[in-house]
Amino acid sequence: MSQRTRIGTTVLGYPRIGPDRELKRALEGYWSGRIDESELVTTGRKLRQDTWRELAEAGLDSVPSNTFSYYDQVLDTAALFGALPERFTRLGLSELDTYFAAARGAPDAPPMEMTKWFDTNYHYLVPELGPETRFSVAGGKPLDEYREARALGITTRPVLVGPLTFLLLAKPADGTPDDFESLRLLEPLLQAYAELLRTLHDEGVEWVQLDEPAYAADRTDAELEALARAYQALGELQHRPAIMTAGYFGDLGDALGVLARSPIEALAVDLVSHPSAVDRLASVSGVQEKEIVAGVVDGRNIWRTDVDAALSKAATFLGSARHVGVSTSCSLLHVPYDVNAETHLGERLRSWLAFARQKVDEVVLLGTALREGTDAVADRLASARAAATDRANATDLRQHRVRARLEALRPEHSRRSDYAERAKAQQAALGLPELPSTTIGSFPQTSEVRKTRAAYRAGRITEEEYRSAMRAEIERVIRLQEDLGIDVLVHGEPERNDMVQYFAEQLEGFAATEYGWVQSYGSRCVRPPVLYGDVSRPSAMTVDWTSYAQSLTDRPVKGMLTGPVTILAWSFVRDDQPMAETARQVALAIRDEVHDLESAGIRVIQVDEPALRELLPLRSAEHKAYFDWAVESFRLATSGISDATQIHTHMCYSEFGDILPAIDAIDADVTSIEAARSRMEVLDDLDAAGFARGVGPGVYDIHSPQVPDVDKVSEQLELALNAVSGQRLWVNPDCGLKTRGYDEVEPALRNLVTAAHQVRARRGVASG
Ligand code: GLN
Ligand code: ZN
């Protein structure tokens, strides 16, 4: 290896959906046949080129490439190494269409599974690997992008998912035994990486980045040993670029030492999520030979960096490492493009924020300060400090009433009586049959409904017109459910664009952005609100709609709220106080809403927590602290009511293992969960964890357009009855119905109710 330049200043990745979501529109246009491949490719190229130019002009020493993706970087990696499942490659489609088939499915070829990227709200496609998998360098994307940037005069650093993270994120391919260990594929995969690195080296690539965030989670000794083996082997290659390995989303723990001792050139570490790693890392052996790229600018949140704290973290390595670089803590994929687009936010709030573009400037600023001394950039440091001071002193962000109320509340929150008592009171109040049926909340959001909401927002229709249109929709949904014979009804949520944004817009302490889109998966983006101050609820948020729905029917209508954890998970949250404190404030607002719903005569209230699993820390040592505040916030939100009011919650993901104790501890009367795809296995797990309250395992998968037939649903219910008594078992779909059409939902729900009736009849109980 010859002497090379250093990384210096860089970012680990950049948004790619386009400042105005250009890629989203192009992708959807291509999928629907409105534009052809060349138009899509042109859009992609322009976005990549704009990004490289912007990053180079901002003054970064090292500009990343291969951070663009038409769908997902893990899927890109599978395609790059020829590891797309055969059900897609045998379709005879073009390279691009094969790739999209893997992401979105094709007739008779269900898509690859999608799951959350660590503890973020980004989703990747899960590689499917087995003993038959053969790796090769099948794609040219990293090389092509490198050349494309070079043609603009910009030298880049190709970014790749690292070999261990790729294997550890994979699942056994169809027909492979469940205990197949993907690490068995490490040697052949390393050969493919070696070939790729050689090609890149021959092309003149100086640096590559290999991402290994999988090591921010708990890993076994065998997995650490595999990491050591892999980076020893890659490091020893004769023909390769310099390697920077990046670990982020947490502390790399023992992997830090492993990487520091391996013969690679640079190590990028996340010093934002776990600042304590700083001291440990400085004393790890092997660091003296490395460039440490200090991830001191938060890649996941949108606040301006505390420049002094960041500088002192980076400076820790000045004596110990060979060189010190400055970077973001992780890829900027998780933040929007540019805060300057948010003109309506107000000068002051805006001055506290940094989106991707501003974070690049922060990295450059910190790099200059580190290299040339703080005097060289005194003015810009001073203005960063002034904004930080202004934010810290912003007394109007504090609401004394909220803080005083929280002080006054007991630290432990519980319902008046235990579950057995409550269940009796609820049965007396509701008189539900065994295996009661319900839905998760939303009904199909027809284009009519969406248009009406848009027209109201744009001021094209009056408030009165909007209200009566929504009421008509609610009435339609109520009549439909009565007609179907559902036992506990919902109003259908037609007034909600999004289950977090709807509440954020009505709560104080939140601000909405206009262009703050962040990729969630593929072409899908979300626009998380900014939670910047103390939270309070100026007035009731859902009572009007819910009580209108209840006025139309004798059956109970279920009030529908989003829980504190989910509201935090899907917002950009203030970083100036512990999450636990912010969660308590949100919980208090929800508690008031729960109270008002109860006062308005609503007897069943659901508080959704679909993100409870998402915020679970990657390391098990931190689980307890998380559960403590997450559970407490749910209980705070739901405990201020009478025994007879029934609290439901809903969670939707299939990996429940780690959070079973929390599901029990939140003490909801009824919990609905995703289960259709896991054949009710989750019920046995709940049982084993001692869970003994009401449970509604989803009996049909709403993510699929298929209408389940009566027998299929009955079979699921019978299966469920093996684990749960008929008194505790609820009958419901997997999740909300808003993304489906009525042509699917109506027959599906009809079959669901029929199945419930059949099973009740078989058990010899009358239907309600
Ligand atoms: N009540 C919400 C709905 O039905 C729940 C959505 C969710 O679980 N993500 O749409
Ligand atoms: Zn759900």
Listed in sequence order, the residues at least 6 apart from 177 whose beta carbon sits closer than 8 Å to its beta carbon are none
pLDDT tens column, 607-618: 999 999 999 999
How, if at all, do strands 518-521 and 524-526 pair?
A: antiparallel
Q: Are 342 and 310 in contact (CB under 8 A)?
A: no
Confidence of residue 4 (pLDDT cuts 50, 70, 90): low
* Average pLDDT of the residues in 662-686: 88
Q: Residue 286 pLDDT more than 80?
A: yes
* Architecture of the CATH domain 434-763: Alpha-Beta Barrel (3.20)
For the CA of 610, the closest atom of ligand 1 is: 8
Residue having the nearest C-alpha atom to atom 10 of ligand 1: 736
How, if at all, do strands 530-536 and 508-511 pair?
A: antiparallel
CA–centroid distance, 440 to ligand 1, in Å, is: 6
The structure tokens listed for 290 are 């490395």
- What pLDDT, on the 0 to 100 scale, is given for residue 92? 96
pLDDT tens column, 108-128: 999 999 999 999 999 999 999
CA–centroid distance, 208 to ligand 2, in Å, is: 39
User: For a substitution probing ligand 1, which of 123, 495, 650 has the most ligand atoms within 8 Å of its CB?
Assistant: 650
pLDDT tens column, 559-569: 999 999 999 99
The structure tokens listed for 617 are 């820390």
Residue with more model confidence, 114 or 4: 114
Residue having the nearest C-alpha atom to atom 9 of ligand 1: 610
User: For a substitution probing ligand 1, which of 481, 495, 499 has the most ligand atoms within 8 Å of its CB?
Assistant: 499
* Average pLDDT of the residues in 25-36: 97
Domain 22-392 in this protein, CATH class: alpha beta
Q: Give the binding-site residues of ligand 1, using a 6 Å CB cut-off.
A: 440-442, 493, 499, 560, 608, 610, 650, 652, 735-736, 738
Ligand found nearest the CA of 562: 1
- What pLDDT, on the 0 to 100 scale, is given for residue 1? 44
Distance CA 381, CA 576 (A): 20
User: Which has the closest alpha carbon to 622: 253, 294, 301?
Assistant: 253
Within the chain, all domains assigned CATH 3.20.20.210 are found at 22-392, 434-763
Ligand found nearest the CA of 737: 1
User: Which has the closest alpha carbon to 752: 435, 281, 495?
Assistant: 435
- What pLDDT, on the 0 to 100 scale, is given for residue 2? 44
pLDDT tens column, 295-329: 999 999 999 999 999 999 999 999 899 999 999 99
Backbone CA torsion sign across 580, 584, 586, 587: positive
Q: Residue 395 pLDDT more than 60?
A: yes
pLDDT tens column, 435-491: 999 999 999 999 999 999 999 999 999 999 999 999 999 999 999 999 999 999 999
Confidence of residue 178 (pLDDT cuts 50, 70, 90): confident
Q: Tell me how far apart the terminal alpha carbons of the chain are, to the nearest angstrom.
A: 77
Please identify every residue annotated as catalytic.
Answer: 703
Mean pLDDT of the chain: 95
User: Which has the closest alpha carbon to 432: 558, 243, 597?
Assistant: 558
Residue having the nearest C-alpha atom to atom 5 of ligand 1: 736
Ligand found nearest the CA of 739: 1
